[in-house]
Structure 1
């Protein structure tokens, strides 16, 4: 698998500080070819020092990339399968999932401890993506999102952990009411806000050229799916400069529509 990647971020039209943090890493492995990790964290705008929370979370994933990922890729450290469906007899994705769930708890505890020592309340969403060969894994906490684009499809892969999404799921409000709800930024889950976090885990396969978009609510809130699909299908992502230009264009579009939050996107084209 080959990857083209880019990150774009903007502090927006009102806020003085960009509370978003993001990273993307690509590595060559001897056994599994190239692998990619993307992470986007949105520091909570209504809480203190959201930029500290998001940067600490991304730093933890960077450290995992250096130390945890090599352990996951080593056969002596991964879970053995009990069936014969995979001749390798190992499940690297399951090991990455296990490590990420522990990492989320570690980040959460670190933010709680940091806030307690400094008299602050810290919070951050996280959406992370890992791909190896033709498999992917996503972890989501909060309302940052992951989308998947092929030549013919556009799918939202994550489910918002928010008050408004919960109300939508229960049929208590309409999508239009959700868009205008004063509770649209209230989360049910985020890193650093409570003693435990319960991430959403999404797994899947990449059986055709695919573009993955990780984005904060500042980007997705004022964009329609039909505006994005054509521009982010794999054949439209010719190179990283083109991908960056598309992301910057989306950022300017949502700003022109009145978006005032920080705006960040991570694009990963898998081919």
Structure 2
């Protein structure tokens, strides 16, 4: 059985930011979202460097080589960021999140750094596959705050891991894909202002990927659009 990705992607600067520092890629076998940070144009540079370093993975890769390919691509992305910063002191401190998934016929391999997210909608339930690399998530993990308190914490925007040209420890996840799976990759411009229950409801209700992606973007903008917003919705089909 051959599975195909039917995807749609949207991105928007939002209502507050002056430029869009998100970057994304979507293809036949690869989905990527990156959310740049660092102020001015630096975040824009970092996210684009990271995505460009990953796009070569949009090809058939054997299951046993998927994780190694992802790891090497993330190392290459981190290296490009380090080289760019070394060549321009004004870019010091720039970085980016990165969430990427590569698909084969019977495996999906995911790599993640930062607070962009990947979700899988299967059998009517939306499951978050990534864990945020953030200060508030660390507090939640340590039992110091409740999950529902994280969204209002004054340090909720502090990211503890990103691609910044320094050593990093990405998280990796393997999923066995099934026909009918719906994937969502997004920057935190969506998830910080639109509740997970609302995202799940829209993912279930809006069948067309393009319409679903546009609806999620619309909800983020209606909630104030305080950050850049990028949304990829991808369905796994057999046709």
When residues 61 and 101 of structure 1 are mapped into structure 2, their CA distance, relative to the original with a 3 A threshold, is: same
When residues 97 and 128 of structure 1 are mapped into structure 2, their CA distance, relative to the original with a 3 A threshold, is: same
When the two structures are aligned, how many residues end up with a matched partner? 233
Q: Could you tell me which residue of structure 1 aligns to residue 169 of structure 2?
A: 198
Q: Could you tell me which residue of structure 1 aligns to residue 54 of structure 2?
A: 61
Q: 2: distance between equivalents of 1:51 and 1:3?
A: 27
Q: 1: distance between equivalents of 2:143 and 2:135?
A: 12
Deviation at 1:94, TM superposition (A): 2.9
For residue 107 of structure 2, the aligned residue among 135, 146, 157 is 135
Q: 2: distance between equivalents of 1:246 and 1:207?
A: 20
User: Which aligned pairs between 1:88-127 and structure 2 lie closer than 5 A?
Assistant: 92-119=62-89, 120-121=91-92, 122-127=94-99
Mean CA deviation greater in 157-166 or 248-257: 248-257
Helix, strand or coil for the counterpart of 2:168?
Answer: coil
Mean CA deviation greater in 137-146 or 248-257: 248-257
**Residue 145 in 1 paired to residue 147 in 2?**
no
For residue 195 of structure 2, the aligned residue among 217, 224, 231 is 224
8 A Cα contact 1:150 1:208, kept in partner: no
* Aligned-CA RMSD value: 1.8
Q: 1: distance between equivalents of 2:139 and 2:132?
A: 11
User: Which aligned pairs between 1:239-258 and structure 2 lie closer than 5 A?
Assistant: 242-258=208-224
Q: TM-score, normalised by structure 2?
A: 0.91
**Residue 10 in 1 paired to residue 12 in 2?**
yes
Deviation at 1:133, TM superposition (A): 1.2
Query: 5+ unaligned residues in a row in structure 1: which ranges?
Result: 27-35, 73-91
Q: 2: distance between equivalents of 1:161 and 1:258?
A: 24
Q: 1: distance between equivalents of 2:39 and 2:188?
A: 14
Query: 5+ unaligned residues in a row in structure 2: which ranges?
Result: none
8 A Cα contact 2:78 2:163, kept in partner: yes
Deviation at 1:222, TM superposition (A): 1.6
Q: 1: distance between equivalents of 2:164 and 2:40?
A: 11
8 A Cα contact 1:20 1:51, kept in partner: yes
Mean CA deviation greater in 92-101 or 41-50: 41-50
**Residue 163 in 1 paired to residue 129 in 2?**
no
8 A Cα contact 1:214 1:265, kept in partner: yes
1:25-55 CA deviation, whole Å, 9 max, x = no partner? 11xxxxxxxxx21001000155761000111
Q: Could you tell me which residue of structure 2 aligns to residue 23 of structure 1?
A: 25
Q: Which has more radius of gyration?
A: 1
